Each structure stands twice: as structure tokens, then as C-alpha cells.
Amino acid sequence: MAEGGDELKLLGSWSSPFVTRAKLALAIKGLSYENVDEDVHNKSDLLLGSNPVHKKIPVLIHNGVPVCESMIIVQYIDEAFAGTGPPILPADPHERAVARFWAAYVDDKLVSQWTNSSRSKSKAGAEAMTEMLVAVEALEGALRECSKGKGFFGGDGVGVVELAKIRHGQAAAASTSNNK
């Protein structure tokens, strides 16, 4: 049970980088929760009822109410538990918008290109890898600009952009070094 009697349940799978995002956001905030392991090939009634549109993990259930999609869950955790633990999103509205932009960029450009490149050893896969590396360069430029010389996108600590990059960046780096 989370702070203040809130009940938190996370539907997920250990192997999902999207679930990892939600777990790390909960950890950053210091929140306890019930972890419910889902078989993504044999989805439970709880998952299907909690995410009837996409029918996928992760789903955070907060006091019986579901929140779906990993980055939405991360932002929800930050807002719902604003007084608990360090912030995940910047307080300044403009900086928060910029962080949300780059987190969406990671999903739109890096995750999709990584998926395309890893599924194909053909010319299309090579093109997707090239596009992903271009996207990584753009993200690195934004990191240099937005980090203000500190180690993280938003400054002093792990934030929404770092959570977006979790495991996808590790997988991309591994595949790039293995392809040399």
C-alpha cells in the first residue's frame, strides 16, 4: 500500500521495458505497490477489464482505477504523488513541456526504429537502424542543451526523459556495438 493508504497495483511482466518505466517511477517516489505478473499470451480478466482498448501492459491500478500506457503512468505517478519523493517532471511549465516532447520523441523515433531494425536484417532494417542513430544524435544534442551541464536531462536527477530511454537505449547500444 502506498503512502496515505493509497492502494497501488501494477499489472506487468518482468521482461517489458514499458513496465520497467512504471516500476522505476514508483521506486523514485518511494511508493510500495502490488506487482501482478501478467502472461501477455494469456491475458487475465483483470488486464482485459483494466485496459479494454489496447489490452496490453503496463496498467497501474490506483485505488481501483486503472491508468494505462507507460509514459502516462509515469506522469500520473508524478502528479498523484507530487509531495512524495523527488519530482519526475520539472516544475516549470515550459521545461515540463520540453521534457514531455523529448520523452514522446524517444517513443516515436527511437523505440519504433529500434523495433523495425531489430525485426529485419534486410535493407529496411538497416535503414531503420540509420534513422534510429540520427534520432539518437538529436536526443544527445537536446540532452546537452537541457541538462545545463548536469548528468540528467532535467538537471539533478532521473526524470521522465531518462525513464523513456530505459532499456531501449541499452538494447540499441548493445545492437550497435554488436553490429561493428
In eight-state DSSP terms, residue 121 is: -
pLDDT value, residue 163: 87
pLDDT value, residue 145: 76
Q: How confident is the model at residue 19 (pLDDT cuts 50, 70, 90)?
A: very high
43-63: average pLDDT: 98
pLDDT value, residue 177: 36
pLDDT tens column, 72-126: 999 999 999 999 999 999 988 998 998 898 889 888 877 666 665 566 667 777 7
Characterize the bridge pairing of strands 8-12 and 59-62: antiparallel
- Residues 6 or more apart whose CB falls under 8 angstroms from that of 73 comprise 21, 22, 25, 58, 59, 60, 67
Extended strands (E) in 22-171: 34-37, 59-62, 65-68
Least confident of 3-12, 55-64, 125-134: 125-134
Sheet hosting strand 34-37, strand order edge to edge: 34-37, 8-12, 59-62, 65-68
Domains of the chain with bracketed CATH: 8-81 (3.40.30.10), 93-165 (1.20.1050.10)
pLDDT value, residue 148: 74
- Number of neighbouring beta carbons within 10 Å of residue 101: 11
pLDDT higher than threshold 90 for residue 34: yes
Q: pTM for the full model? A: 0.79
